[in-house]
Amino acid sequence: MAASAAEHASFLPPILTFCAAAVIAVPLFRKLGLGAVLGYLIAGIVIGPSVMGLVGEAENVRGVAELGVVLLLFIIGLELKISNLFAMRRDIFGLGLAQIVITCALVATVAALLGHSARGMIVTGLALSLSATAIALQVLEERHDLATRYGQRTFSILLFQDLSIVPILALVPLLANTEALGSGQALAGAAGASARAFAAVALVVIVGRYLLNPLFRLLAASGGREVMTAAALLVVLGAAMLMEQVGLSMAMGAFLAGVLLAESNFRHQLEADIEPFRGLLLGLFFMSVGMSLDANYVRQNALLLLVLAPALVIGKSLIAAALARGFGSSWPDALRIGALLAPAGEFSFVLVPLGGEVGLLTGERVQVITALAALTMLLGPLLAKFIESRLAQRPTGEEPAPDDLPAGEAGGSVIVIGFGRFGQVVNQVLLANGADVTVIDRNIDSIRSAARFGFKVYYGDGTRLDVLRAAGAGSANLVCVCVDDAAAALKIAEIVHAEFPRARTFVRAIDRPHAIALMNREVDFQLRETFESALQFGRATLEELGVDAEAARLVTEDVRRRDIARLVLQRSDGLLGGQDLLHGAKVKPEPLTPPKRKAAGLSAETRDLVADAEARP
């Protein structure tokens, strides 16, 4: 038992070390304006084996931490529709292919000049031509620029790089045996690998298209929030593992699963459930990269690395910027794209050791390229920060225009929470005027009914901050709270005011006390659900009794004005405030009068209590 307890306790020091490093480094680097990515990288170097040695075996840590990249790609996939992905095909297959080919050729040329073999320089060029998906997307997320034209173009290039991982990984072993490169056996092996990959993709597409939505509907109906979270992780990690088994990247599998669920009613809830895991694991990934940097080796080869690392970062940046400019980006956007693609990619740490294992690279060169890749991950964010600060000083103040591709409904100007009888009418009015509306509800029956009539309603709990954020509350102009739960409406209003001050709050009130409570929380507009309909009902009744239509309207307006005045008085004086404003009811206080009958207990115990009270003087 003691040994078991000690074994469990052994996991705590590394976890505490990672948490402490993140808590110290990330806020500090954010305050310095350098971003969270650089903070994680530096924290990893400091706690790693080559500096303080608080945590060893960076490779073991990275095996878990790479799940952060997987979850990040899943969330990105949720924000893209297949139609939007098709619209990006020119940037993905045109700009993405050009970037890899040209960068690989130039890096390979430099590697040849430094003495690499013909096959070794190809591996080096391919490894260093890739870019760090996690770093680029994290920077875009921090800037809130993923939805801009340059953000979408950057993502297109990164997506093509992820797609290219499969043939690159297949090419490296073939390069080690050039005689087999053109043989029938090699071609048959490549065809078999392609068939397995195609079958895996088809399986993910079929499951995502026909099985996932019914599964999530069933789980949501059960009401278990933790089960929904487990199901979300099951989908992401299951797709990632399947793709890894057939030679594709895990990130590619997660991205495909996200794209297939982009049209799902559960999209926002899934994003909210995955987000906490994504943030923690992605930070751990960056720290593991920092831990892998051998400070002693860097010191021993400082001159070579101090020349190669800046040269690689600047060279990759210029190549990507020139290509982006050639594909129609403005120069400011092209420079932003180039800076984001400058760091070497996460797969450099896979390709380079693989090249060493099959004999294409010597052990010394594996160390040089690995250290070079890690250093570019440190220098890349600094270059991106420098370029962004210089562009911000431009007198023209050119801002990247928003694209039509990114977050779909999540970027809507109005969020309607609740799709019951009240919310449906509100939604009709908004849609009739062409408003961009995102509707969320946690009632599966309401969502299913809405789908039958062609409405798009997302599953989500509006009282959760993470769900509101995933639904786009941060960019919404207005949040309409149409739920029939008074406590939930109050909670949503409080969350929106505290976390999304830009958004105005229009809230459905259940009754008079609820309306006063909403006024005390300073919502922008509240309306009792039955008040206006009752006024119209009363007006129609007066007209049926023979009252002139204009006179009936004036009476209705008078009741409305008095009611508003009463609400104001009741807010300050309590529910009895403004009683004199009611038509036909005057409350007169009466003096206290003694009871006409003596108190009588309803049980033996209460009769004893009453007798004791009467016996007292």
Structural domain boundaries of the chain? 12-177+194-392, 414-581
For residues 239 and 204, the answer to whether their CB atoms sit within 8 Å is: yes
- What whole-number percentage of the chain has pLDDT above 90? 4
User: Is the model's pLDDT at 229 over the cut of 80?
Assistant: no
From the options 3.40.50.12780, 3.40.50.150, 1.20.1530.20, 3.40.50.2000, give the CATH code of 12-177+194-392: 1.20.1530.20
For residues 392 and 145, the answer to whether their CB atoms sit within 8 Å is: no
Question: Which position has the higher pLDDT, 176 or 601?
Answer: 176
In angstroms, the first-to-last Cα distance of the chain is 68
From the options 3.40.50.1010, 3.40.605.10, 3.40.50.620, 3.40.50.720, give the CATH code of 414-581: 3.40.50.720
Q: Model pTM?
A: 0.59
For residues 349 and 69, the answer to whether their CB atoms sit within 8 Å is: no
How much is the mean pLDDT over the chain?
76
What local confidence, expressed as pLDDT, does residue 45 receive? 80
How is residue 502 written in tokens? 């830009």
What local confidence, expressed as pLDDT, does residue 390 receive? 85
What local confidence, expressed as pLDDT, does residue 609 receive? 45
265-284 in b/e form (b: 16+ CB < 10 A) is: bbbbbbbbbbbebbebbbbb
Candidates 496, 94, 75, 102; CA nearest to 268 is 75
The CA-CA-CA angle for residues 55, 61, 67, to 5°, reads 150
Q: Give the pLDDT confidence of 120-163 residue by residue, as tens digits.
A: 888 888 888 888 877 887 788 777 777 788 888 888 888 888 77
425-443 in b/e form (b: 16+ CB < 10 A) is: ebbeebeeeeeebbbbbbb
CA distance 106 to 412: 44
Question: Which position has the higher pLDDT, 403 or 313?
Answer: 313
What local confidence, expressed as pLDDT, does residue 177 receive? 63
User: Is the model's pLDDT at 319 over the cut of 90?
Assistant: yes
For residues 371 and 339, the answer to whether their CB atoms sit within 8 Å is: no
What local confidence, expressed as pLDDT, does residue 186 receive? 54
What local confidence, expressed as pLDDT, does residue 314 receive? 92
User: Is the model's pLDDT at 318 over the cut of 90?
Assistant: yes
- What whole-number percentage of the chain has pLDDT above 70? 77
DSSP state of 526: E
| Amino acid type, 33 | G
CA distance 113 to 100: 20
> What contacts 24+ positions apart, CB below 8 Å, involve 113-117?
116/361, 116/365, 117/360
User: Is the model's pLDDT at 553 over the cut of 60?
Assistant: yes
What local confidence, expressed as pLDDT, does residue 61 receive? 65
| Amino acid type, 248 | L
Of the listed ranges 269-283, 565-579, 595-609, the one predicted with least confidence: 595-609
